[in-house]
Structure 1
Amino acid sequence: MRRVRYEVSGGPEVLLAEEVPVPEPGPGELLVRTEAIGVTLPVVRKVREGTAPVPLGGEVAGTVVAVGEGVLGFAAGDRVTGLCFSHAYAELALLHETMASPVPDRATTVEAVALVRSGLVARGAYEAAHPRPGDAVLVTAAASAVGSLALQYAKAGGASRVVAAVSSADKEEFVRALGADEVVLYGDESWGDPVDVVIDGVGGDLLGPAVRALAPDGRLVAFSSGGGTIDAYELLIRSASVIGFHMAAIARDKPDVYARWLHELWELHRNRTLRPQVFAEIPLTEAARAHEIIESRGNLGKVVLVP
């Protein structure tokens, strides 16, 4: 089977396609023939900045072809999606049963990859802010896979005003179509009237203006892998707070919450409250092109690899 890996850290050009044996599912694992593989910013950053090569993990969706010992909830022929922590950039990937969920008949596997992980992160980050009816909400990286769904969550959750923060003006039409009432650019001197909630998927240097955008008693939820530093004085003068959110902690420590959110996510997709956005479907062997799109912030929604 074909798989993509890298031997040294660097830009997208370090990604290599290779032929490798088909892996065997171990206890609790599913062997999935992948039909869609999500490309995420954290994985792109690992390739660029990591100290040593690691398997290219990520969201996968496809059809189960074999199951390992002890698997009870799935069988060969089932369509599933989930987060693969080993080699996801592959024609066949191993997915642990606890991280897998069924794909409804009404959805495609590409839709599943665009919706599930990004939607769970968007939902969790928004809920971590303890939103109140009538709150004004600002979403950074609003044109990304997670950000585009966070906009929709805020709109459906009763926000009085939804502000999309994006890197360039050519993304304005896209985010307005998803419910943004206002659009600001990262480099703008002001991000307009203060907001009650900031959902931040960028981090780094953007944390400063994100905190300054908060109204008194505002809440910023940070879920980006970009890190960054926050000026405590800026929080003090606003009586504001910063909340960290990590989806893996929910999946690991609160499986009942994870399952409930997953069920609600598919219901919101069914009634069209949430519309996952797919920017590009790119052949697996052209994974470098997918990483280039993410690094250049050129995507409007999800970038998906298809074997």
Structure 2
Amino acid sequence: MLRIRYERNGGPEVLFAEDVPVPQPGPGELLVRNEAIGVTLPAVRKVREGTTPGPLGGEVAGVVAAVGTGVTGFAVGDLVTGLAFVDGYADLTLLHQTMTSHVPQGATALDAVALVRSGLVARGAYEAARPEPGESVLVTAAASAVGALALQHARNGGASRVVAAVSDLAKADLVRCLGADEVVRYDDAGWGEPVDVVLDGVGGDLLGPAVRALAPGGRLVAFSSGGGTVDAYELLIRSASVIGFQMAAIARNKPDLYARWREELWAAWRAGTIRTSVHATIPLAEAARAHALIEGRANLGKVVLVP
């Protein structure tokens, strides 16, 4: 089978394709023939900055090709989606049943990859802020797959004002269609009137302006893999707070909540109150091109690899 790998850190150029044997599912595992593979900013950053080069994990969706012993609730031929810790960028991927869910009838593998992980992160980050109806919300990386869904969660949750922060105003039309009332650029001198909540999926140097965008008593939810430093004095003078959010903690410690959020996401998608945005589908062998799109902040929504 085809697998994408890297053996040294760097940009998209370090990714290469290799032919490897098909893995066999162990206890509790499913072998999935991938139809769609989501490319995420954390994966791109891992290639650029990580310490353990090797196969890439990630979100996948496809048809179950084989099941290991002890698997319940899944059968060969089922369309599923899940999170793989290794070999996500491959024709076939092993998923543990605890990290896998069915794709409902009427939805495709592409729908699943565009919606589930990104939607769960967006929902979780929004809920972590404990928003009240009528509050204002600003979303960074608003044209990304997670950001686009976070805008919609804020709008559907009763936000009085939704602000999209983007790298380029060429993305303004998309984010306005998804619920943004205002659009600001990262390098603008100010981000308009202060907001009650900032959902930050970028991190790094953007944390400074994100904190300064908060109104008194505001909350910044940091869910990016980009790290960064927050000035405690800036929080002090605003009586503001920073909340760290990681989706893995919900999946691990609150599986019932995780499952409920997932079902609510699909229900909202079927009702048309949540829409996904896919920027491009790119052949798996051209994974470097997908990473370059995200590194260059050129994507409007999800970038998906297709075996």
Q: Give the match for residue 177 of structure 1.
A: 177
Give the partner amino acid of 1:266. W
Matched residues in 1 for 2:55 and 2:273: separation? 35
Does residue 90 (structure 1) correspond to residue 79 (structure 2)? The answer is no
Q: Where does 1:10-25 land on structure 2 (aligned, <5 Å)?
A: 10-25=10-25
Q: Give the match for residue 161 of structure 1.
A: 161
Task: For residue 237 of structure 1, give the secondary structure of its aligned residue in structure 2.
Answer: helix
Matched residues in 2 for 1:118 and 1:201: separation? 11
Matched residues in 1 for 2:174 and 2:167: separation? 13
Matched residues in 2 for 1:198 and 1:51: separation? 30
Give the partner amino acid of 1:286. E
* TM-score (structure 2 length as normaliser): 0.99
Task: For residue 9 of structure 1, give the secondary structure of its aligned residue in structure 2.
Answer: coil
Matched residues in 2 for 1:54 and 1:261: separation? 32
Matched residues in 1 for 2:263 and 2:155: separation? 20
Is the 2:4–2:55 contact (alpha carbons within 8 Å) kept by the matching residues of 1?
no
Matched residues in 2 for 1:95 and 1:298: separation? 30
Matched residues in 2 for 1:233 and 1:130: separation? 23
5+ residue gaps in structure 2? none
Give the partner amino acid of 1:118. S
Q: Give the match for residue 49 of structure 2.
A: 49
Does residue 102 (structure 1) correspond to residue 102 (structure 2)? The answer is yes
Give the partner amino acid of 1:255. P
Task: For residue 279 of structure 1, give the secondary structure of its aligned residue in structure 2.
Answer: strand
* TM-score (structure 1 length as normaliser): 0.99
Q: After superposition, give the CA deviation of every residue in 1:160-203 in whole Å (9 maximum; x if it has no partner).
A: 00000000111111100111000000000010001000000000
Is the 2:84–2:94 contact (alpha carbons within 8 Å) kept by the matching residues of 1?
yes
Q: Give the match for residue 292 of structure 1.
A: 292
Q: Give the match for residue 303 of structure 1.
A: 303
Instruction: List structure 1 runs of 4+ shifted beyond 2 angstroms.
Output: none
Matched residues in 2 for 1:16 and 1:208: separation? 36
Q: After superposition, give the CA deviation of every residue in 1:94-126 in whole Å (9 maximum; x if it has no partner).
A: 011001011012111101000000000000000
The Cα shift of 1:9 comes to 1.1
Task: For residue 238 of structure 2, give the secondary structure of its aligned residue in structure 1.
Answer: coil
Q: Give the match for residue 221 of structure 1.
A: 221
Q: Give the match for residue 79 of structure 1.
A: 79
Cα RMSD (Å): 0.6
The Cα shift of 1:52 comes to 2.8
5+ residue gaps in structure 1? none
Task: For residue 53 of structure 1, give the secondary structure of its aligned residue in structure 2.
Answer: coil
Matched residues in 2 for 1:68 and 1:55: separation? 22
Give the partner amino acid of 1:81. T
Q: Give the match for residue 201 of structure 1.
A: 201
Give the partner amino acid of 1:140. T
Matched residues in 1 for 2:70 and 2:17: separation? 32
Identity %: 76
Give the partner amino acid of 2:281. E
Task: For residue 47 of structure 1, give the secondary structure of its aligned residue in structure 2.
Answer: helix
Is the 2:211–2:235 contact (alpha carbons within 8 Å) kept by the matching residues of 1?
yes
Give the partner amino acid of 1:67. V
Q: After superposition, give the CA deviation of every residue in 1:239-267 in whole Å (9 maximum; x if it has no partner).
A: 11100000001111110110110110100
Matched residues in 2 for 1:143 and 1:208: separation? 20
Q: Give the match for residue 27 of structure 1.
A: 27
